[in-house]
Copies of this chain bind each other. A is one copy, B any other.
Amino acid sequence: MSKTTINPPPNRGPLVSVKITDVAALAGVAPMTVSRVLNTPDRVSELTAARVRAAIDQLGYVPNLIAGGLSSRRSRMIAAIVPTIASPMFNEPVQTFTALMGEAGYHVMLALSGYTPGGEDRLVRAILARRPDGLLLTGAHHSAAIRALLADARVPVVEIWDTAEHPTDVLVGFDHAELGAAVAEFFIAGGHTHFAVLSARDPRAAARGTGFVARIRQHGLTVVAERVLNAPSSIEDGRQGLRDIVASLAPRTALFGSSDMVAFGALIEARKLGISSPGQLAVCGFGDFEISRSTEPPFTTVRVDGAAIGRIAAEQLLARINGAATPGRVLLPFEIIPRSST
């Protein structure tokens, strides 16, 4: 459909590397003064600062943060670990967090842990080798090895998107089991008596599913099907999931999907199979992804304020970095958004 082309590489000019002493020499000041112009401009007279800035521009000086970091023992870098960016789930918190930390002078290094257990261990070691000034972790349940590493490293840590009795440091999340239970109550209030759940193979999705099922059983009602899907789960996983459980469905069943992708897949497959929604199959997703809102008809989901999580995480982490005592745990609310699928 199109060609593959290969051209030769261009040549490059001579190697140059401007350092702080070069700038200092040109501006006729000590290197320390250049450093002050860049880091604590208030402590330099406006006159010299101008001379130094001129020299910086003239030479195209770009400070070396590696050297600066070694000397000051501050990397001005934050590492953020999320399971994946292939799902819209973590976009909001990560983007907000990154933007706010950026304003505060920190770069955020994003790392993907995947959903394979143990993938996190190597990653955390590798990341700590860069001496981040802070850490953002997705999830609050980590291996003993990681806990030990983090404790030794003395790095401020904020855990998001989860809850735990004793967070490593600061936690900003919500209670997944309670959320599942709330979805159960929502369905029950709608008169449902038969339920199903499709959950990704991921600890937090599992917690939502467990909370859902537990509450239903508390009410003495029936869970007709429960199925575990890939993580992160795709639309196709949701479709396949529905095909797998279709034989078990009651004439009127309420389905909880662990993400909006799953719920959307289930809805598509139901429509294809001639199962009406919400009549025969009520569906609730999770995440309030755009697809839940903008598809036709839009479907019911649970919204968590991802931007708020990112913002509070940034605030808490900055407070922690600056040595302030901060609350150990911030649990945020969630909200069921009823739409046409229930």
Contacts and interface: CB of A to CB of B under 8 A. Distances in A.
A149 interface: yes
Contacts of A69: 66
Contacts of A179: 2
A169 B70 CA distance: 31
B8 A290 contact: no
Contacts of A236: 290, 293-294
Interface residues on A, range: 35 or more
Interface stretch (A41-49, A151-159, A251-259, A278-286): A151-159
Interface in A32-82: 60, 62-67, 69-70, 75, 77
A258 to B, nearest CB: 16
B326 A62 contact: no
A325 interface: yes
A60 B154 CA distance: 13
Contacts of A317: none
Contact of A65 (B15, B17, B130, B294): B130
Q: How many copies, total?
A: 2
Nearest to A122: B102
What does DSSP make chain A's interface, helix, strand, loop or mixed? mixed
Interface stretch (A105-113, A188-196, A198-206): A105-113
A320 to B, nearest CB: 8
Contacts of A329: 5-7
B2 A333 contact: yes
A153 B62 contact: yes
Interface of A: 1-10, 12-13, 15-18, 60, 62-67, 69-70, 75, 77, 85-86, 88, 91, 94-95, 98, 107, 109-112, 125-131, 148-149, 151-154, 166-167, 169-170, 174-175, 178-179, 182, 234-236, 239, 265, 268-269, 271-272, 290-291, 293-296, 325-336
